Amino acid sequence: MTEEFKIALIQTTLEWENPEGNRKHFQKKIESIQEPVDLIILPEMFTTGFTMNAAPFAESMNGETIAWMKKMAQLKNAAITGSIIIEENHNFYNRLFFITSEGKMQTYDKRHLFTLANEQDTYTAGSEKLIIEYKGWRLCPMICYDLRFPVWARNVEEYDAVFFVANWPQARIKAWDVLLQARAIENMAYCIGVNRIGTDGKGFEYVGHSVVYDGLGESLNEKEFKKDDVILVSLTKGHLETIRKKLRFLEDRDFFLWP
């Protein structure tokens, strides 16, 4: 178990529907990280942007991007995570991968599909929540629109941190800010949001606001809020142990059953 858990949030632009170009861009960002980190977090659909044109860009479970993620994880001796388009059994998924430096891989399929963009017409929704055990930390991965559904993110598994990878547009950025902070406070856990910046192929603008909140909803970073940057933040077990012992709010939580 590690008392300190260091994460790198990569907040940057995405080239529209250009997997090779995006992999090269992210590789430069990853190679620029000079100090040891435990986890590198990339945005949602980091190889393409949030496209509904899935067929030309979907990869298999043995595709180029997964091989690249394994290479990057090994290079930095750190886990790496982010979502891409996967085709499996004739269905498309917005699938998050969590890959360690040893090549161990876990996946999470986006549960809540963004109906405002008709994501449900292209992609198949996931049905299983994932809790990742890594270096003594319990991590709960989520994808973008999942942020609006607190029951799905409810901390009934005693996780230490929940993280959201996203393509969340400027038009609704206030909701992103408020809901990330709320997820931290209500779950007494670190809450991490990694969002892109720039303009996508549909003309939507993104302003980042990637952030890490502690278990009381206090921001651990602000100066890199809108910049193209690699944001380094350290989490500590002691913080969670202290607040959960003093403020026993989680003991009063509800347990909801999914159908």
Query: Residues with Cβ < 8 Å from 90, sequence gap 6 or more?
Result: none
Max distance between CA atoms of the chain, in angstroms, equals 52
CA distance 38 to 32: 15
Q: What is the pLDDT of residues 66-120, one digit of tens each?
A: 999 999 999 999 999 999 999 999 999 999 999 999 999 999 999 999 999 999 9
Q: What is the pLDDT of residues 2-12, one digit of tens each?
A: 799 999 999 99
Catalytic residues: 44, 110, 144
Paired tokens of 210:
């990637």
Given a cut of 60, whether residue 1 has pLDDT beyond it is no
CA distance 27 to 7: 16
Element containing residue 150 per DSSP (H, E): helix 150-153
**pTM of structure:** 0.97
Helix, coil or strand: residue 50: coil
Query: How does strand 91-99 pair with strand 79-88?
Result: antiparallel
Quick one: 158 exposed, middle or buried, by C-beta within 10 A (0-12, 13-18, 19+)?
Answer: exposed
CA distance 240 to 86: 35
Identify whether the C-beta of residue 13 lies closer than 8 Å to the C-beta of residue 49.
no
Identify whether the C-beta of residue 210 lies closer than 8 Å to the C-beta of residue 9.
yes
Report pLDDT for 226: 82
Q: Which domains does the chain have, with CATH numbers?
A: 4-252 (3.60.110.10)
Report pLDDT for 104: 98
Report pLDDT for 116: 96
Sole residue written with tokens 């609006």: 148
The whole-chain average pLDDT of the chain stands at 96
CA distance 151 to 149: 6
Beta bridge partners of 86: 59, 93
- Which is nearest to 92 in space by CA: 83, 100, 81? 83
